[in-house]
Amino acid sequence: MLYNKHMDKMEKIVALAKRRGFVYPTSEIYGGLSNSYDYGPVGAELLRNIRNIWWKEFINSREDMVGLDTQIILPQTWVASGHVGNFSDPFVEDLKTHKRYRADHLIEKYLVSGSKLIEDMNMKEINNFIKENKIKSPDGNDLSEVKSFNLLFETEIGAVTGEKSKVYLRGETAQGIFTNFKQVIDSTRVKLPFGIGNIGRSFRNEITTGQFIFRTLEFEQAEIEYFFDPENSDWEKLMTNWKESMFKFVTKTLGIKEENLRWRRHTDKERSHYSKDTYDLDYKFPFGWKELWGIAYRTDYDLKQHMLSSGKSLEYIDSTSGRKFIPHVIEPAVGVNRLFLMTLVDSYTEEKDRLFLKLDPRIAPYKVAVFPLLGNKEELIKKARGIYENLKPNYMASWDDRGNIGKRYAAQDEIGTPYCITVDFDTLKDNTVTVRDRDTAKQERVSIDKIEEFLQNKLQ
């Protein structure tokens, strides 16, 4: 379905995501919840494919990496890591409606781009800037003083009635890696340099709304802590190698266009409390260049903090020299949902009267769709079902016998299915089917006994 030309690209993508079952607003029947989305049937497949391909490339294919799967609710960790004290955003309140806004985002909207680096402003400077420039809320009302807003979700566990203890939902998956560092060393044969990967939900109390799945309260992170000996490894070289691996994953594995990517180094004032050097790999989203994937040199900050807080040694002993030290880390950290949004944006293609998602076949929710030309002709349905059932165990295959063939092609194009197979009356005579290519819309005849070979060659 092509859209009204007045809709912008993001509006079209949000509409398509809902219409075709990629992304739905959470609890829509109850009016939804800000910054919260659910993933529909095809969205769940795309998300899973991205997650699995990340895991395969960064964990399974590398000798120097292992994976973990750690908990969301953690005791003490967040005080030790510095998140309770430092993990906050500046916010202002609309004095009339009492709605809250990220102060830096309001300034960002107000500024002509590039005229001042908001990233470098501290709370006082942000406050002064809002006052001096008489910046109002989006509803045109006066704003409160700038305050600090901690992003961690706080809750309580109570194993014994009355004895409640404060815990936090994790704000990053990274801390599960640091707190398990010693156990991984003791239970596996890893040797420095090596990395640990972790994928899972993280939670942040984000107040900026309206950025679809770019910024949500719950999201999935895929993080790596790459540990090394600071005396025998060059951190700048490791950082360069990891930046290359990240870039390769985005461009070669996910098939994203290079012109839509750029590196941005964080300024000294902007860097997180734990980092000595940070770069963002930015993607050109329809709402501007935004962080897709971060890479930070976290030094030995976290292991040291956890040693201090737990009183347990998290040192590494070099098996050759016997030297004891705390390893340093390089951390590539990405949100799976941001990778997901990027693949939708980058693959979205309008061509003449067609709209399709040019997704890399490896991540496309369905690899192939099978149709009988007509949904009411028994011989065609029987033959097509045979092909579909034969493919289904090995390929993510979709079946459709509703409506006309043009509508079925359009539906598969919009969810990025690379190939559609149609069984027609010629099939009954010569055992060949029509295979249609999503990107060119060209059709070719393929013998039924060669379909698997055809798909194997095309989808690898």
In whole angstroms, the minimum distance from the beta carbon of 356 to ligand GAP comes to 26
Residues 340 and 338: their CA atoms lie apart, in Å, by 5
- Minimum distance between the CB of residue 266 and ligand GAP, rounded to whole angstroms? 10
- State which residue, 53 or 381, has the beta carbon closest to ligand GAP: 53
CB 440 within 8 A of CB 458: no
Task: Give SS3 for 258.
Answer: helix
Among candidate residues 168, 145, 164, the one with its CA nearest the CA of residue 155? 168
How far is it, in rounded angstroms, from Cα 94 to Cα 339?
Answer: 33
Q: For 90-130, give the DSSP string.
A: EEEEBTTT--EEEHHHHHHHHSPTTSS-GGG--HHHHHHHH
Looking at the Cβ atoms of 292 and 435, the one nearer to ligand GAP is 292
Taking the complex as a whole, the smallest distance from the CB of residue 278 to ligand GAP amounts, in Å, to 8
From the CB of 87, what's the least distance to ligand GAP, in Å?
A: 9
The first and second tokens of residue 272, run together, are 């997180």
| Least gap, CB of 220 to ligand GAP (angstroms) | 8
Q: Dump the DSSP string for 334-357.
A: EEHHHHHHHHHHHHEEEETTEEEE
Specify the residue, 206 or 400, whose C-beta has the smaller distance to ligand GAP.
206
Count the helices and strands in the chain (H runs, E runs). Answer: 15, 24
DSSP 196-237: EEEEEEEE--------GGGS-SEEEEEEEEEEE-TTTS-HHH
Give whichever of 204 and 408 is closer to ligand GAP, judged by the CB atom: 204
Q: What is the DSSP letter of 326?
A: P
Nearer of residues 91 and 293 to ligand GAP, judged by Cβ: 293
Closest CA to 10 of 354, 286, 376: 286
Percent helix, percent strand, percent coil in the chain, to nearest 5: 35, 30, 35
Rounded CA separation 230/313 (Å): 18
CB of 457 to ligand GAP, least distance (A): 34
The residue sitting closest to ligand GAP, measured at its beta carbon, is 335
State which residue, 206 or 346, has the beta carbon closest to ligand GAP: 206
Shortest Å distance, C-beta 376 to ligand GAP: 46
- Measured from the CB atom, the residue of 331 and 360 that comes closer to ligand GAP is 331
Judged by CB, which is closer to ligand GAP: 92, or 342?
Answer: 342
Residues that bind ligand GAP (CB under 6 A): 172, 174, 204, 206, 215-216, 219, 221, 223, 291-294, 331, 333-335, 337-338
Token code pair at residue 129: 């800037």
Q: How far is the CB of 218 from ligand GAP (least distance, A)?
A: 8
Of 174 and 421, nearer to ligand GAP (C-beta) is: 174
**What's the closest the beta carbon of residue 223 comes to ligand GAP, in angstroms?**
5
Q: How far is the CB of 108 from ligand GAP (least distance, A)?
A: 16
Cα separation, 30 vs 65, in Å, equals: 43
- Distance, in Å, from the CA atom of 378 to the CA atom of 344, rounded to the nearest integer, reads 37
Alpha carbons 319 and 303: distance in angstroms, whole number: 20
Q: Which is nearer to ligand GAP, 89 or 93 (CB)?
A: 89
